[in-house]
Structure 1
């Protein structure tokens, strides 16, 4: 199985020798087999474990088991202890636990230089995800299952199924801790695992192999859909006075057009039923019909859709900034934009943003931050809610409403006066730098 792991890592290009690996280890059979495989393969790694304190002494024993294993094998281990107060929210325990663990993982990566996080998901997990998506209703992307790679997250056991993992554990005396909640069928995933998957396997004993083949075909189909939708956006979408216009003269009476329109409008939180109704209006030429999602309003206007963000308690005014040196006034802020040559050292304070100019797509957009905004703070690998970042940075409530963002093609490049987005930072390959200065930093 070690050889299969190494082949899978190479085939999927999961990481390189330069990467620093962090393994998420719960103590269960999947994560313990993953850790043992990495150990046997001679791949350096560290371990992160979260003690959710949800199962009393069992949770403590899980933690001690993982810590003892790590110490016995000279592996660095980090432990997060979760207080009971953390679950006192309106969200489900599962959602709170997920948020806690990924915030913990991301903080470890930022503080200690880890570049890849490995989780122990495998083929059975992926097919269970697809079945859940089908039951709840899904578009084509729901057939992807669990991706092998997702940003900095890698899933090196996705070549194996549950039976293979258990066989390896028994053959090589890999110890693990059994989570009693895995046998309960009150969780949807466990219900599928214990009651649905066995029936499917009776019908098709080779279901996991055929499922893998189906995933490959679906991935190709989804990439084709995404590429087509991107081309449509590039040729039929434009900005006008702070809102977007999508030309619809390409829409025809076929399922292909409906699918592409669904892919484009999913960015605006439109559900499929709304998109079907909107699609019918476009085909029938019903101008003036309005549709709304939680974030946007869409107006069918002859051969175009006018898409506007909904007004919120924050200002919904936006200013477009075009390429070239300029000074822009917005609310109480004044920002200067200019390109500068790449030199060995460029001064960058809290009121100055230095960005790789080649990664910028014009025009830029200057606006207030809004609920749901995400970016990748400099030094981190994963996205973070702007609201969470401001809480962590202890920005006073009275100042939060005035925080601005600079946006490039839908991606935040700078939380003005606070942090740039890691994806747009200046690097060794940078040839030209976009420098943005606020009046808080220096006088023009």
Structure 2
């Protein structure tokens, strides 16, 4: 096993050499074997142990066990000296209750948030975990039963970001044999014996039957994963080719041309693949937005996808897509991005506010546009005669640089209708002969 891992690192994971590695060690057999293998290969590593305080004294005993094992191994670490050890206790159950999340989700978040803080604070290059081939098939079956695309059916990735899983080439049986032959001690997690969790039920009840039906299950699974990854590579290549044809990346946002995208029979699959990395998961809403009216939006935790005429705009939630132009169709009753506007027809003017304007609808040319101001913009301030440069208007109104950068304009065929929230344009005001009054409200 040692030689097999060394060859694997030399061939496929050579980037781990001469790097500072952080080993995630629970005290179980998998992680303890990983420690011994890295020690024998003389890799430069430290150990991180999480105490989630979910099993009372047993959790504390796991922590003490890891401490003692690493201390015993350190004197034999040759020229590297003592193996650095980091431990952390988490109030996992309390945090899960407060956040209304499952214990598994919370434990994972706490674990990896801490690991990444150690990477940043101590200049580690990679996190190594002891996932193995049996873990990968369990993950495959979990995703299969829940419904998954190719990404979920390719098992556990050997590397994603700073996480590396060098033991995925080994089965659980190989790990157990190595531990016994090398007198490696470990701790058994009592929760692994429970069928409360889906992974354990698969491990105890389903996979043994599959192995009985096919004694070469793990080998067959490796071949299946290899084939699926090749298929995934083809999908990625196709997605990249189509992306270059239908998408354009601006400074603050990405524009998807729907006229071009919808010509592809698998346009939804392409869009799903592009958006997945931005945290989008509500695929029904993504499908709906393709045929929705302008102004429809779908949110992920980090990004906004906005329907804007014949395009979709993708931009970070913390930004407002300053360089974008947003289109407003005739009869559209509201806009939510980049700011909240509502539109309604009425028979008389009843509200007076800088956040409300009344315009003669017949003077407007649709679609209207929302945009930021440009040098050289002019408008005809309501109540004044003649035109005025917008830059001069901002100066007279004592706009700061921040005020100017936050200003939005409502325009009709490049003519300014409203410096939103500040001044309407005289050219679009209602008169005694106005037949259709359009009220436009800005909701801060």
2:221 to 211, 216, 219: 211
Gap change, CA 1:61 and 1:277, over 3 Å in 2: same
Partners of 1:180 and 1:221 lie apart in 2 by: 39
Q: CA deviation at 1:309?
A: 6.0
Question: Is the Cα contact below 8 Å between 1:300 and 1:306 reproduced in 2?
Answer: yes
Question: Which residue of the partner structure matches residue 193 of structure 2?
Answer: 183
The residue correspondences of 1:412-423 to structure 2 (distance < 5 A) are none
2:119 to 98, 105, 109: 109
Matched, 1:174 2:146: no
Q: CA deviation at 1:111?
A: 1.8
Gap change, CA 1:100 and 1:275, over 3 Å in 2: closer
Question: Which residue of the partner structure matches residue 229 of structure 1?
Answer: 239
Question: Which residue of the partner structure matches residue 4 of structure 1?
Answer: 4
Question: Which residue of the partner structure matches residue 108 of structure 2?
Answer: 98
Question: Is the Cα contact below 8 Å between 1:144 and 1:218 reproduced in 2?
Answer: yes
Partners of 1:152 and 1:265 lie apart in 2 by: 22
Matched, 1:197 2:200: no
**Local SS of the residue matching 1:319:** coil
Question: Which residue of the partner structure matches residue 90 of structure 2?
Answer: 82
Question: Is the Cα contact below 8 Å between 1:50 and 1:101 reproduced in 2?
Answer: yes
**Local SS of the residue matching 2:260:** coil
Gap change, CA 1:17 and 1:306, over 3 Å in 2: closer
Question: Which residue of the partner structure matches residue 320 of structure 2?
Answer: 317
Question: Is the Cα contact below 8 Å between 1:14 and 1:156 reproduced in 2?
Answer: no
Q: What is the number of residues matched between the two proteins? A: 313
Partners of 1:17 and 1:270 lie apart in 2 by: 37
Partners of 1:277 and 1:80 lie apart in 2 by: 45
Q: CA deviation at 1:292?
A: 4.9
Question: Is the Cα contact below 8 Å between 1:30 and 1:165 reproduced in 2?
Answer: yes
Q: CA deviation at 1:243?
A: 6.5
Question: Is the Cα contact below 8 Å between 2:51 and 2:88 reproduced in 1?
Answer: yes
Partners of 1:243 and 1:13 lie apart in 2 by: 34
TM-score (norm 2): 0.63
Partners of 1:109 and 1:154 lie apart in 2 by: 13
Q: Map Cα deviations across residues 341-363 of structure 1 (whole Å, 9 max, x no partner).
A: xxxxxxxxxxxxxxxxxxxxxxx
Q: Map Cα deviations across residues 108-133 of structure 1 (whole Å, 9 max, x no partner).
A: 22222211111000011111111111
The residue correspondences of 1:36-435 to structure 2 (distance < 5 A) are 36-74=36-74, 75-83=83-91, 85-89=94-98, 90-238=100-248, 244-249=255-260, 251=262, 254=265, 256-266=266-276, 267=278, 269=280, 271-274=282-285, 288=293, 292-295=297-300, 296-297=304-305, 299=307, 304-307=310-313, 317-320=320-323
Q: CA deviation at 1:264?
A: 2.8
Question: Is the Cα contact below 8 Å between 2:315 and 2:321 reproduced in 1?
Answer: no
Provide the aligned C-alpha RMSD in A: 3.2
Question: Is the Cα contact below 8 Å between 1:119 and 1:155 reproduced in 2?
Answer: yes
**Local SS of the residue matching 2:257:** strand
**Local SS of the residue matching 1:53:** coil
Q: Which has the higher contact order (CA 8 A, sep 6+)?
A: 1
Question: Is the Cα contact below 8 Å between 2:247 and 2:254 reproduced in 1?
Answer: no
Partners of 1:231 and 1:3 lie apart in 2 by: 41
Question: Is the Cα contact below 8 Å between 1:14 and 1:154 reproduced in 2?
Answer: no
Gap change, CA 1:112 and 1:262, over 3 Å in 2: closer
Partners of 2:3 and 2:257 lie apart in 1 by: 50
**Local SS of the residue matching 1:157:** helix
Gap change, CA 1:300 and 1:191, over 3 Å in 2: farther
**Structure 1 unaligned runs (5+)?**
322-365, 367-401, 405-444
**Structure 2 unaligned runs (5+)?**
75-82, 325-371, 373-402, 406-444
The ranges of structure 1 where at least 4 consecutive aligned residues each deviate by more than 6 angstroms after the TM superposition are none
Q: Map Cα deviations across residues 246-297 of structure 1 (whole Å, 9 max, x no partner).
A: 244354575x55533432344472544455667xxx7xxx684986533445
Q: CA deviation at 1:225?
A: 1.5
Question: Is the Cα contact below 8 Å between 2:128 and 2:163 reproduced in 1?
Answer: yes
Higher radius of gyration, 1 or 2? 2
Partners of 1:63 and 1:10 lie apart in 2 by: 32
Q: CA deviation at 1:22?
A: 1.2
**Local SS of the residue matching 1:54:** coil
Q: Map Cα deviations across residues 130-188 of structure 1 (whole Å, 9 max, x no partner).
A: 11111111111111211111121111111101111111111211100000000111111
Gap change, CA 1:300 and 1:217, over 3 Å in 2: farther
